[in-house]
Structure 1
Amino acid sequence: MSRFQAVDVFRVLAILAVIALHTARHEGPGAVGSAFDAATFLNQGERFAVPLFFILSGYFWSAKCSGRADYLRCSLALARRVLLLFVAWCAVYFLVSELDTLGRLGVAGTLAAWATRLATMRGGFATLLLQGAKVHLWFLPALAIAALISGALLSRQLERSLFVLAIVLYAIGLAGKAYADTPFGFHIAFNLRNGPFFSLLMFATGHALRRRGPQPSWAATGALLAIGGLLLQLCEAGWLHHRFGTNMAQDFTLGTWPFGLGMAMIALADPRPARIPALAALGPLVLGVYASHYLFVDGLRAVDGIEAGPAGGLRYVMLVFLLSLGFTWIVSRIPVARRAVT
């Protein structure tokens, strides 16, 4: 299948948004989510990124399936690939974070320290299993689970059941996260962003888009959906904060789905203004940037003044992006390691 230039451009924009989310200040005065200010507005505006990745994954996964009998095979292939990436990058982040501990305590001592940490971790073993050694890696098992559920149900011609299940799981995720402080919410010692609660609806949406398009009209329809979803998301965040004191930095709300869907539809329509060859050329490296960027988020955080003011925030984002991009490009030149980043 030929690549959509706009899709690759939107992938690059999405990874920049993800890096911005991971480099924003979340503690102290002016923290993101503590007030309805520019930082919180930008935080909500960046929330299209992960839904976009899930929806596009579902779209291109569906494009590879030649029929009912092929859904299960395709889902197993995607899950195998994604989970191998998850294990590999967990090993990388474990070694990087525990290098000093390994030197001081050895393997047995380091594992014992991790067991102690696991006992106090929110969600315990389930979090370790579905999030791994670094917080952003949750995306990979969530994608694998969404693919496996979708493949299992679609291979039995249960598309309607897939969407019912996806909507129910999304509702549970909302009740246990953004809406946890409301009368119909609940609190749980597990982050419901992990697993299928968020990913399944997005992935299944990508499959549905593939069944219906792409179409040039998606650019205008997607723009309306994206604007409406963002406005709904902002209204939800403001209302939840004002009425229940909920932090306005939320992984997903009701508006996140139409926001991500709209952005994916614009990308898949491949409109001419979004075809930017220089950015599109970076699209194949986005997976590696996503996987590796926390190496540089953590490394640069120790640099004095890196986060100072709006200019510092932008500098932080661009430095992380460029370093991750350079690292990914170098790794992609090594045949044995190429599949870990592309």
Structure 2
Amino acid sequence: MSKNRIASFEAGRLLALLGVIAIHSQLFMTAPLINDQPWLGLLINQLSRFAVPLFFIMAGYFIAPKLVTAPKDTIKQYSLPLLKVWLVWSVIIFLVPFNLQLAWESGYLAERSGYWQYLLSQPLNTLFEGSLVHLWYIPGLICGLLIIAFCCHTKKLNLLLPVAITLYLFGLAAGSYAPLTGIESPLFTRNGPFMSTLMLTIGFLIRQQSWQLSVGKAFMLALMGMGMHLAEAAFLIRFDVPFNMHDFLTGTPLWATGIFFMLKQRPQFGKAIVSLNISKHVLGIYLVHLLIIIYLMHLLPMLGFTGYANDILRFVLTCIISYGLVVLIDKTPLRNWLLR
């Protein structure tokens, strides 16, 4: 591990990555069932929602000094490699078949055409997302950073937090709270700048304003934010909003901020895990993991795995295969195209 790396933040990235994989692999979403609902899986899904907000806060924190001193150059140097990786993976996922059995039996075009039509049916979301749902993170990150860079360049940093909060509230109003507000957005508000800007701004301001919070207060902030997030998710069920559909709610920024401050105040946390140097592969694993999950969702039932065995194996194998694949890619010239 590099001496310049903070162990707790590296460990935080790994924990967040496991949270993302838990969400996408649908851990415990088939069993156990309580009143015909997979409540353990639903709870794990929402308890993992700190992950992407934490990624954003960390990104805003670490890029802050460069954005302030050289906003135009920094955004260019930071964004172009990410856009290249996002475009390459979007093309790969656009082209590779998900259901290999169907492609074998009915042909490549028969397997792909339905998915291509789905992407073309929502061109705006596809533009801000890419060819698979998890790729939204990169355009969202860049959109948020562009807003911060613009405020830095125009010396209007006093407007940054109000703009970020306004975008976030609109994102909630036209997203999870749309059944209550009646507000609609042509762009799914998890995508683009709506949610990412506030999280990035929080990290940016923590760095620039030297905000501090004790471990105890940070824990209480995280606990309060998590409680709010879960309570909101439970409340929205009565408006026919599924419990597990929420990426961001009102309490989510507080939750992720509290976790960030806890990590910041305990820089040696997770040092033993970080010494394995897995965290440098986090972006690569993030990019490849959902494709692995899709293949495992087809393969494991064919091999006779169902229920708990299917869910747990899908999660564990996704972690192992994704890591192994990224390590292999990192040893080839393809790393410059696939891993930034």
TM-score by length of 1: 0.86
SS at match of 1:252: coil
Match of 1:129 in 2: 127
CA deviation vs aligned residue, 1:251-283 (integer Å, no higher than 9, x gap): 110011111111222223344343234566111
Letter in 2 for 1:263: I
Distance between the aligned counterparts of 1:4 and 1:214, measured in 2? 18
2:20 matched residue in structure 1:
18
Q: Does 1:333 align with 2:331?
A: yes
Counterpart residue type for residue 85 of structure 2: L
Distance in 2 separating the partners of 1:35 and 1:255? 25
For 1:181, what is the secondary structure of its paired residue?
helix
**How far apart, in 2, do the equivalents of 1:112 and 1:188 lie?**
27
Distance change (3 Å), C-alpha of 1:294 and 1:36: closer
Q: Does the residue aligned with 1:47 lie in a helix, a strand or coil?
A: coil
> Paired residues, what number?
329
The residue matched to 1:334 in structure 2 has which SS?
coil
Equivalence map 1:1-342=2 (5 Å): 2-24=4-26, 37-65=39-67, 67=69, 70-97=70-97, 100=103, 116-119=117-120, 121=121, 124-182=122-180, 184-188=181-185, 190-213=187-210, 217-242=213-238, 244-249=239-244, 250-278=246-274, 281-302=277-298, 303-304=300-301, 306=305, 308-309=307-308, 312-338=310-336, 340-341=338-339
Mapped contact 1:52–1:264 kept (Cα < 8 A): yes
Which whole-Å CA distance do the structure 1 matches of 2:231 and 2:51 have between them? 19
RMSD: 3.0
In structure 2, do the counterparts of structure 1 residues 81 and 338 end up closer, same or farther at CA, with 3 Å as the change threshold? Answer: closer
Are 1:79 and 1:148, in contact at CA under 8 Å, matched by a contact in 2? no
User: Structure 1 residues 231 and 27 mapped into 2: Cα distance closer, same or farther (>3 Å)?
Assistant: closer
CA distance in 1, matches of 2:291, 2:38: 30
Residue 40 of structure 1: CA displacement? Answer: 2.1
Per the TM alignment, residue 58 of structure 1 is displaced from its structure 2 partner at its CA by 0.9
* Matched AA of 1:246: V
Whole-angstrom distance in 2 between the partners of 1:198 and 1:31: 32
Determine what percentage of the aligned residue pairs are the same residue.
27
Structure 1 gaps of 5+ residues are none
Alignment check: 8 A CA contact 1:8 1:279 kept: no
Relative to structure 1, the CA distance from residue 25 to residue 332 in structure 2 (aligned partners, 3 Å threshold; closer, same or farther) is closer
Structure 2: gaps (5+ residues): none
Is the CA contact (8 Å cut-off) linking 1:288 and 1:328 kept in structure 2? yes
Partners of 1:17 and 1:194 in 2: how far apart?
19
Cα distance in 2, alignment partners of residues 31 and 142 from structure 1: 35
- Rounded to whole Å, the distance in 1 between the matches of 2:217 and 2:45 is 24
